[in-house]
Chain A
Amino acid sequence: MLTTTLNTAVGSLLANAGALQTTNNNIANANTPGYTREVVDLQSIGTTGGNVGGVSVSGFQSVRDELLQMQINQQIQQQGSANAQTSSLQSVQTTFTTSSGDIGTQMSALFSAITNLETDPSNSSLRQAVMTAGQNLATAFNNTSNALTSQQQSLNTQVTQDVGQINQLTKQIAALNPQISTMNANGQDAGPLQDQQDQLVQQLSALTGVQETKTNNGITLTTGNGTPLVVSGQSYALNTAPGSDGLVHVVDVTGTDITGNITGGDLGGTLKTRNQQIPSLLNQLDTLANQFAGAFNSVQASGFTQSGTAGSNFFTVSSSVTGSAASIKLALTSPADVAASSDGASGSGGNLVNFAAVQSTKLASGQTPTDSYANLVFQVGSMLSTANTESSATTSSLLQLNNQLSSVSGVSIDEESANLIKYQQAYEAAARVISTVNSLMSVTMSMGTQAAA
């Protein structure tokens, strides 16, 4: 009977030592990113079937909440997308400042120069001022268009980098799948490996939107439109290829262009800015440049130059809207070519009123030039402000979700400290049982000796 008690006590010692080790491991990893706390599974042996009670460690278990983990990944995808938009639109925004050198200011300067010429239409220095202002406006259009295009081009690099990182991550995630399923199948604790995989999926989520499915062979990851990225132990790399539009496109392993289907994450946000936001701004800018130049050219054609000939084009601009802002330039070569005159006389300024009227006349777009530009400024600001709002909203909801997750899976130092004391005391008590059994046994043994003596 004493031997059985001794065995029970030894079992208790081992179980509590195991629990202490788990506590120790939790404390050690309290600050490890992605670490999921483990609890020890203690099981009573019971007193049935000849057993006399005792305890054993039946296993260790990680306390995880996969639903929360998925919600967090989704938020990270949104945040990645919003942050990518924020940083790329930030540099676009600077070209649309309302301070100086922008299209709005240069447009006003051109109209000012024209109205100044009204006071003395034959004055060649005032005519020169009109030409200079026209040149400056054309340059402002060129610069803004170039800034947008070069931002678009620089996002190509971002796309290539993102795709490279995505491929690396999917490879690592796929490599973990068979290891985890083997351990699970053998009833071993795959906790640390799963933590590692969760972390990698989180990193992947920051780069692109993925959909996650659990299978017996580990997780399956696909892009939003179902292109496989990871299936059991196999990862499928994405590729980049130059498209006909001069931009870098993303193609899947079969060579299908999936650029338009990628949403979420840094890649999704970058593609949104590059393929939707910047082109929409460029298109409006081109429309404004094209219609403004058209309006000026037609006023110019209705008037006469200082030498009395009919006015030739004021601006040179492509006939198609696309590329107008990039290509617009001043067509006039001499100050005398400004068609200020309405009657052919050198001192007439009758046509200048028509030039000035362009400012308050609606273009074909239905808006005056100033309103068109104001609208463009609004859109740039609004795109960035929406991205900013989304970024801070996801930051705050991520904080909440992470709090919820750590409430399930996080390590609490206070709790572990209390557990430490609990297991320590149980260990001490079990040790006391052993020493008690020991003294009882020696009593029993010496009892026999005394009888013999």
Chain B
Amino acid sequence: MRVTSMVPNVQYNIQQSEQSVNTALQQLSTGKRVLQISDDPSASANMVRSLASSANVDRYTSNTTNVLARLQTADSALSTVVTSLNQAITLGTEGANGTVNSSNRQQIATQVQGVLTTVIAQANTSYQGSYLFGGTASDTAPFVADSTSATGYTYVGNSGVNTVQVGDSMSVPTNTPGSQIFTSGANVIASLSQLVTALQSGSTSDIATATTAVTSALNYVGQQRVPIENTITQLNSQETYLGTETVSLTSQQTSLVGIDTATAATNVTQAETEQNAVYAAAAKILPQSLLNYLQ
């Protein structure tokens, strides 16, 4: 082959080596291997999916935190209810004692009435403005005073349960309706109200019966707390899991579009070495001419 000029080849090689140095430097300075979608279309598409997963994990995490706080508030309200019921049982046992006189019984009745008020207050607990025991009717207090009701209170909430997604296939209930905890089963409110009435009437046998009813209400509330506490435990472990998931997604994203510093630095060195070689070759080749030797 008749070679007339090395210039186009030299120019092409310089162009290529400058491009490699530029790419290597950009990768090193940004820490990214894929700087634009076209650098690696399939990694970019996977990046879209991975980012969506990350966003999901983020929202599951924030939901978990939020629901945990809500359930813990509910659980502590129920714990107060348990204390109150124990107090009512003590008062009932005291009132059932034949040695207590009538005026003392009236006092005890007033105290039990106070316990009932406390329980109602707990049943109307709200978290960030939404009532925890009103079912899905969470914007009004679920238990309201009602003189027409035998217990003096009416439940105005509903039996709806909201659930919140805290994982791709994991949802947890965020509330237990007040009707389920306080006015069904061994009816908490009715048993307390029954005790008040019995104390006011002074019949020791009625008082004893009512006290027994309060005791079973105490057990019932205890049972109702179990699923809530289970959910709290679940959420705690989900929180840990989501934490590790975030880490693994982040590392997935790094491996999709990122480049580690060591590799990037090596690439830069390699590209620079190549460029130096190209320059050295150009410096040797370009000045070559027969004219240099003709005198």
Contact = CB atoms under 8 A, between A and B. Distances in A.
Interface of A: 89, 93, 96-98, 104-105, 107-109, 111-112, 115-116, 118-123, 341, 343, 345-350, 353, 356, 359-360, 370-371, 373-375, 377-385, 388, 395-396, 399, 402-404, 406-408, 410-415, 417-418, 421
B59, B136, B137 pick with most chain A CB within 10 angstroms = B136
A341, A345, A415 pick with most chain B CB within 10 angstroms = A345
B294 interface: yes
Contacts of B163: 118, 349-350, 353
Interface in B165-204: 165, 168, 171, 174
Top-9 shortest CB links A-B: A381-B41, A347-B138, A108-B55, A410-B4, A381-B37, A348-B136, A384-B38, A378-B45, A374-B48
Contacts of B2: 407-408, 410, 412
A16 B12 CA distance: 39
B66 A111 contact: no
A347 B130 contact: yes
B162 interface: yes
Contacts of B55: 105, 108-109, 111-112
A341 to B, nearest CB: 7
Contacts of A381: 36-42, 44-45
Interface string B3-26: 111001100100000000000000
A122 B83 CA distance: 31
Contact of B48 (A121, A347, A356, A373): A373
B128 A123 contact: yes
Contacts of B290: 413-414, 417-418
Nearest to A371: B49
A402 B8 contact: yes
B199 to A, nearest CB: 37
B12 A396 contact: yes
Given A348-B162, A414-B289, A123 B294 contact: no
How big is chain B's contact interface, by range?
35 or more
Contact of A347 (B1, B134, B291): B134
B162 to A, nearest CB: 5
A414 B290 CA distance: 5
Given A105-B51, A348-B162, A382-B41, A111 B128 contact: no
Interface in B215-271: 257
B158 interface: yes
B46 interface: yes
A145 to B, nearest CB: 18
A350 B139 contact: no
A407 B62 contact: no
Given A123-B130, A353-B163, A384-B37, A108 B136 contact: no
B37 A107 contact: no
A350 B136 contact: yes
B221 to A, nearest CB: 23
A120 B73 CA distance: 14
B39 to A, nearest CB: 7
B56 interface: yes
